[in-house]
Amino acid sequence: MLELSESKDMKDEELDQPATRRDLLELRAELTSELVTVFSDALDRRTSELRRALDERTSELRRHFDVIAESVKSDFSNLFDWTQATTSTTGAIDRLEDELRKRR
């Protein structure tokens, strides 16, 4: 098979010679092999870029949901405290009212 540098050194008469089917098949096999290598490398690079981007996005989502979970815990804790305070106060008021009614 001719290399590119060899074809530059050839004269027009030599370049105008007909190619055989064998030459064309060899050229196709060589080009196919080179294309497979180039596409494989490009695919590997793109895959690693996508994996890195996905990992970053996953970490970002995990942090977001951790913050949301802490907020929900805090809100429920506050709601529980409020409910306890309101309920116990209402119970104390009810007891005072009952005692006042008994004294009358």
> Taking the domains of the chain in order of start, what are their residue ranges?
20-103
Region 62-67: mean pLDDT is 96
- Over the stretch 68-99, which tens digit does the pLDDT of each residue have? 999 999 999 999 988 887 777 677 777 778 88
Q: What is the pTM of this model?
A: 0.47
CB count within 10 Å of CB 103 equals 5
Main-chain dihedrals φ then ψ at residue 11, nearest 5 degrees: -85, 165
- Over the stretch 5-51, which tens digit does the pLDDT of each residue have? 555 677 777 777 888 999 999 999 999 999 999 999 999 999 999 99
CA dist 55 and 46 (Å) reads 14
User: pLDDT band for position 4 (50/70/90)?
Assistant: low
